[in-house]
Amino acid sequence: MRRKWIRLAAVAVLCWIFGSYQVRSQTYPAGTSAPSTKPARLAGPERILRFHSEIAVHDDSSLTVTESIRVVALGKAIRRGICWALPVRYRKKGDTKVVVPFEVVAVLKNGELESYHIVNQGRYNRLYIGRKDVLLRPGVYTYTLVYRMSEQPAAPNEGNDELYWDVTGNDWTFEIAQASARVKLPKDVVADKVRYIAYTGPKGAKGKAWRGKIDQGGRVCFTTTSKLGIGEGLTISVTWPDGSATQPGKE
């Protein structure tokens, strides 16, 4: 009986050693990045699961924007990372065109700093996120971009200040399952005086697949009520009494 227990103990030890080896042998090879979720969530095409934007309008009319995109990457179009198009040329009322500089504060992938580079393409600065020598493993990734925009030109709207903001853009080649935005206005803006509207669909469309509200913190919240197709986006407009801050009308 004693020998039987010794043999069973020896088998258990060998199984533990083999199991540990199996776990160690499944670490990701050099030059790849680990996915953030289980493979079971990867059914279907590459797509944007969620696009969320936090926009803070400051008293001096500058903006701080935090955009978060959660994507399914399958190694097709999304191989090393994603590409953001950021408009830098705007049109004031009266067709006066201005160039508004922006400052990138942080670029993250799954909460960690990620490499990026910027290419100017006239109206847009295109921001490429990812490393040239690192291919993504199939998985779900969350990219976060934080940037500031200053020296915002005035965009009066019948005595009101206005934030007219293209939340997602219309040049994504993926479906967007859900898009949302939350706007924090200057502290002296009275919520009862705030008006807002949004549009969904292709560029110039006036789609109504959205809902909005002003939350208890006075922030204006928008979310889509159906998915956005390829080339479709979410655009928002928030107006408040003139004198608090001024924002651009997009070209």
What's the mean per-residue pLDDT of the chain? 81
Give 223's pLDDT tier (boundaries 50, 70, 90): very high
**pLDDT at residue 135 is higher than 60:** yes
Domain range summary for the chain, segments of one domain joined by +: 32-241
pTM score of the predicted model: 0.78
Q: What's the per-residue H, E or C state across the chain?
A: CHHHHHHHHHHHHHHHHHHHHHHHHCCCCCCEECCCCCHHHHCCCCEEEEEEEEEEECCCCCEEEEEEEEEEECCCCCCCCCEEEEECEEECCCCCEEECCEEEEEEEECCEECCEEEEEECCEEEEEECCCCCEECCEEEEEEEEEEECCCCCCCECCEEEEEEECCCCCCCCCECCEEEEEECCCCCCHHHCEEEEEEECCCCCECCEEEEECCCCCEEEEECCCECCCCEEEEEEEEECCCCCCCCEC
- What pLDDT, on the 0 to 100 scale, is given for residue 155? 53
Per the CATH hierarchy, to which homologous superfamily does domain 32-241 belong?
A: tricorn interacting facor f3 domain (2.60.40.1730)
- What pLDDT, on the 0 to 100 scale, is given for residue 94? 58
Q: Looking at per-residue confidence, does 32 or 111 come out higher?
A: 111
